[in-house]
A and B are shown apart, each in its own frame.
Chain A
Amino acid sequence: MIRCVAWLPSLLALINLMRPSFFHHLHPPTIPAPQAQWRYTLGAGGIAVFLVLVLIITGALEMFYYTPTPDQAAHSVQTITYHVTMGGVIRNVHYWAAQFLMILMTVHLIRIVFTGAYKPPRRFNYLLGLALFVIVVLINFTGYILRWDQGIQWALVVGTNLLKTIPLMGDYLYEILIGGSQPGSATLIRFYAWHIFGLTLLAVILMGWHIFQVRRDGGIAVPPPSLRTDLQRITRYELVRREVLAMLLTSTVLIVVAGFAPAPIAAPIEEITAFSSDSRAPWFFLWVQQMLKWGDPFLWGVLAPLATLTVLVLIPYIFPHPHESELGRWFPKSNWLARLILTMIAVLVLGLTLLGV
């Protein structure tokens, strides 16, 4: 017993040696303590990065079994779900990580606007973030389509038909997207390629750029040192520890949710034009589906979402910026208009989503 205990310090020394300094070097040497708190950042950006890693790993695992052909796709999803050892859990983790990512991205966006962190020089990075947001929505939608079962039929037909309503170039865009005049095997393989490669590659590159740009812009947004009351800083070691803690908590939630809340699944599509009882859009498009009930599909299905996106893009350009002294904390008084606009958009989208549920 004593001998064993005597071994402990040398074992601990070994662990210290194994510390992966690479991950520490991805972080700045120190960051300001008041801004390194959960209640300031909500941890949203960092957890989003972790979720992307989870998605890449679980997605790669799913690729070992998924078959992107119309007659096999839904069956291979059933095989993963029911017959591959732990396949159901891995598929559920992939599914839930994707949905959590959508939520955390939104939380991250709200945090940035509500703390005024988009103020120049961070304006460009704000745009990178919005681009990432759009791409992740598209990745989520293409992944949803890959199930190729009766649950996605409506979304596929309506979602792609929306493109056709765009004047002049609509039909052309439609054919580029689905690879023919009607959804079929070409559509599935295209969505697969976009999902696992095209969009994912773009997202990973933009994500790297987004993170790099945070450091290029001087780290997390804070007032200049002369205006700060609390000059304390934390080391990158403590920062990594907090990140690890966030990852562990996220992993726990993800695994437990995945273990007990199955991802949606339905019977394979027989005919792409056949009636499907499930006519609901994926949850993150329910607000668009609700607007489509109001009339002209081009207006409500294409222009309205694009207008929403445009307002978000314009936030750092047309609304007053918060004063330097107001950076690094929530609700800077001077950007109330930007906050109001974002709140209105959020309430509208949320309200429409709840109507559609």
Chain B
Amino acid sequence: MDTTRRLTALAAGLLLIGSLLVVWAVFQRTNPVALTPSLTGQTEYCLTCHGDLPEISTSHPIKSFGCVICHGGERLALDKNLAHSTLRGGANPSALSVVELSCGGSDCHSGSPQASRDHIQRVMTSIQATYTGAIANILYTFGAQPDLKAHFGAFAVIDNETSTGITSLDAFESSKEDNPSIQTFGKNCLTCHISAAPREGDHFDRLTGCAACHTPDVESFPEGKTHGLTTAIPYTQCNTCHNRGNYDLRSMTFVERADQPTDRLHDYYQPIAQFTRCEWTLDCVDCHTRTEAMGDGDLHSNQSEIQYIQCKTCHGTLNELPQTYTITSEDDLALRLAFLNPVVDLQVGDTILMSETGEPLWNTHVLPDGTYEMTGKVTHQQFTFRPVMGTQCKQNPDEQESKYCHQCHAEER
């Protein structure tokens, strides 16, 4: 009978030890870090582990946005697997498959075209996302379609308000094609559109979706610590796709450029390219505009339909000055763009250059003496330049494209 008593005393001791062990283990766990962003009003605990991440951008302050509104995920979970199980697009909520959920909404990036807040619609139909030009050219070349018009894109997309006549694209599936060259094209040459995973290698390293461009220098961050969005996109980011090599149409493979330059002059363009000084001292985004890169909301068949900025956009011609306009409203697009990347102190009343289609070149300024000033969106460097009009330029009046400027002004390297 005393056995039961002794065992009971022992069991009571075991229970106390077991309970203390469990209580100790529970209080050993990291204290949850709560955040209640003002936009959602719902407490989330992501910062318990991710407190060391930098704020993604000044336009998305964490106090207002928090994490979940963009990234999804389980806001309450403290277990890594559960917390991450419902993340949108894995680590990249801007992946085009989920971007509408992550970045969309009429107050955010799928607003009206009139207010220039239709970023997602424009990107989904843009050449950089659909890759229509390359696909249409290949299909035409190998006789799989009768014209050079876009019929297929990297993914299926519909444009209900088209002004180019192309209302929809079917998804290009090379496996359904008979021609072996088209099949090889599908296998080797679809790594550049922004919804595709990039090729292997540091030079090609970028994310997909919006972050393909707006989250630069991915390779410089430690694993999993990439957190940034910017409109100051350096040329190196554009060069994760552009200027990295050429497609060999015979073998349908991508041939990487052979040189390994370490300086800007040689790194910017491929060895065979012709360019002027400003083209490699500036960054791509200093001249090329938002609609060129992100699309104008319509489906196009070729890059040439959307890329239009030339030397003359800023320099004019012998007979014409470049177009300018004076900012009259606080809501002017130029002021909104300058606010996102405040490299210039732009004010209502300032006169700036304007592209042929009326896009503001907001990092330029018309100076009182009739010359112009441009500020590098990435480098913050200031450049002054003159119009062609009134100079000794001998250019033929009907040869105004940039390639003719290159004939005299190309840089040697």
Q: Do chains A and B touch in the complex (CB under 8 A)?
A: yes
On whether the beta carbons of A259 and B11 are closer than 8 Å, the reply is: no
**Known contacts A82-B32, A245-B11; 15 further A-B pairs (Cβ under 8 A):** A78-B76, A78-B82, A83-B32, A88-B26, A89-B22, A238-B1, A238-B4, A241-B5, A241-B8, A255-B19, A259-B21, A259-B22, A259-B26, A265-B77, A265-B82
A267 B1 Cβ-Cβ under 8 A: no
For chain A residues 246-283, which have a beta carbon within 8 Å of chain B?
Answer: 248-249, 251-252, 255-256, 258-260, 262, 265-268
CA gap between A86 and B25 in the complex, in Å: 10
In the complex formed, the residue of A with least CB distance to B4 is A241
Cα–Cα distance between A268 and B77 once the two chains are bound (Å): 11
B26 touches A82 (CB 8 A): no
Contacts of A245 in B (CB 8 A): 4, 7-8, 11
**Interface of B (DSSP majority class):** helix
Which residues of A lie under 8 Å from residue B74 when comparing CB positions? 78, 267-268
Chain B residues with Cβ under 8 A from A266's Cβ?
A: 82, 85
28 contacts between A and B (CB under 8 A): A78-B77, A78-B82, A79-B76, A82-B45, A86-B23, A86-B26, A88-B26, A89-B26, A242-B4, A244-B8, A245-B4, A245-B8, A245-B11, A248-B15, A249-B14, A251-B15, A252-B11, A252-B15, A256-B18, A256-B21, A256-B22, A259-B21, A259-B25, A260-B22, A262-B79, A267-B85, A267-B86, A268-B74
CA distance A314 to B15 in the complex (A): 41
User: What residues make up the interface of A, taking CB atoms closer than 8 Å to B?
Assistant: 75, 78-79, 82-83, 86, 88-89, 238, 241-242, 244-245, 248-249, 251-252, 255-256, 258-260, 262, 265-268
CA distance A75 to B14 in the complex (A): 35
Most buried by A among B4, B5, B19, B21: B4
With a CB–CB cut-off of 8 A, which chain B residues contact A265? 77, 79, 82
Interface size on B (CB < 8 Å)? 26
Is B378 on the interface with A (CB-CB < 8 A)? no
Report the minimum CB–CB distance from B318 to chain A (whole Å). Answer: 63
Residues of B near A258 (CB, < 8 A) are 22
Q: Does B197 contact A (CB under 8 A)?
A: no
Q: In the complex, what distance in Å separates the CA atom of A256 from the CA atom of B25? A: 10
Distance from B10 Cβ to chain A, minimum over Cβ atoms (Å): 9
> Which residue of chain B lies nearest to A86 when distances are taken between CB atoms in the complex?
B26
What is the 8 Å Cβ interface bit string for chain B, positions 208-236, against chain A (1 contact, 0 not)? 00000000000000000000000000000
B78 — which chain A residues lie within 8 A by C-beta? 82-83
Q: Is B12 an interface residue (CB 8 A)?
A: yes
Q: Would A249 and B1 be within 8 Å (CB), given that A255-B19, A265-B79 are in contact?
A: no
Which residue from chain B places its CB closest to the CB of A92 in the assembled complex? B22
State which of A86, A88, A255, A268 has its C-beta within 8 Å of the C-beta of B18.
A255
Query: Can you name the residue of chain A whose Cβ is closest to the Cβ of B77?
Result: A78
Partner of A82 from B19, B22, B25, B76 at Cβ < 8 Å = B76
When distances are taken between beta carbons in the complex, the residues of chain A under 8 Å from B4 are 238, 241-242, 245
Query: Complex: how many Å from CA A265 to CA B19?
Result: 23
Assess whether B82 is in contact with A267, with CB atoms less than 8 Å apart. yes
Q: How far is the CB of A247 from chain B (nearest CB, A)?
A: 9
In the complex, are the beta carbons of B22 and A255 less than 8 A apart? Answer: yes
* Minimum CB–CB distance for B2 against chain A, Å: 10
* Closest residue of B by beta carbon distance from A150: B85
| Per-residue A-contact encoding for B1-43, CB less than 8 Å = 1, 0 else | 1001101100110110011011101100000100000000000
- Residues in chain A near residue B76, CB distance under 8 A: 75, 78-79, 82-83
Minimum Cβ distance to chain B for residue A279 (Å): 16
Q: Which residues of A contact B11 (CB under 8 A)?
A: 245, 248-249, 252
Chain A nearest CB, measured from B400 CB (Å): 56
Contact B21 A248 (CB under 8 A): no
Considering residues A238, A249, A258, A260, which has the most beta carbons from chain B within 10 angstroms of its beta carbon? Answer: A249
- C-alpha gap A88/B77 in the complex (Å): 12
Tell me, in angstroms, the Cα distance from A114 to B249 when the chains sit together: 79
Q: How far is the CA of A245 from the CA of B15 in the complex (A)?
A: 11
Q: Are A248 and B82 in contact (CB under 8 A)?
A: no
CA distance A164 to B339 in the complex (A): 62
Q: Which residue of B lies closest to A76 (CB)?
A: B76
Alpha-carbon distance between A89 and B26 when the two chains are bound, in angstroms? 8
Task: Name the residue on B nearest A265 (C-beta).
Answer: B82
A249 to B82, CA, bound (A): 32
Contact partners of A259 in chain B: CB under 8 A = 18, 21-22, 25-26
For the complex, give the distance between the alpha carbons of A245 and B9 in Å. 9
Which chain A residue has the least Cβ–Cβ distance from B34?
A83
Contacting residues, chain B, for A242 (C-beta < 8 A): 4
> Is A82 a contact partner of B8 (Cβ separation < 8 A)?
no
Contact yes or no, A255 B86, CB < 8 A:
no
Most chain B beta-carbon contacts within 10 A, residue among A78, A260, A266 = A78
Residue of B nearest to A235 (CB): B1
Contacting A at CB under 8 A, from B34-92, are: 45, 74, 76-79, 82, 85-86
Question: How far in angstroms is the closest Cβ of chain A from B45?
Answer: 7
Question: Distance in Å from the Cβ of B28 to the closest Cβ of chain A?
Answer: 11
Roughly how many angstroms separate A88 CA and B85 CA in the complex, as a whole number?
A: 19
Residue in chain A with minimal CB distance to B42: A75
The reply to whether A252 and B14 form a contact with Cβ atoms under 8 Å apart is yes
Write out the residue numbers on chain A whose beta carbons fall within 8 Å of the beta carbon of B5: 241
Query: In the docked arrangement, what's the CA distance between A259 and B78, Å?
Result: 16
Given contacts A238-B1, A267-B82, contact A248 B26 (CB under 8 A): no
Question: Residue on A with the closest CB to B5?
Answer: A241
Interface pairs A-B: 4 shortest CB-CB: A259-B22, A248-B11, A78-B76, A82-B78
Measured CB to CB, the closest approach of chain B to A53, in angstroms, equals 15
Q: How far is the CA of A60 from the CA of B112 in the complex (A)?
A: 52
When distances are taken between beta carbons in the complex, the residues of chain A under 8 Å from B77 are 78, 82, 265
Query: Which residues in chain B, 224-254, are within 8 Å of chain A measured between CB atoms?
Result: none
> In the complex, what distance in Å separates the CA atom of A262 from the CA atom of B78?
12
Q: How far is the CB of B32 from chain A (nearest CB, A)?
A: 6
CA–CA, A266 and B83, complex, Å = 9
B295 to chain A, nearest CB (A): 31
Q: A residues within 8 A CB of B1? A: 238
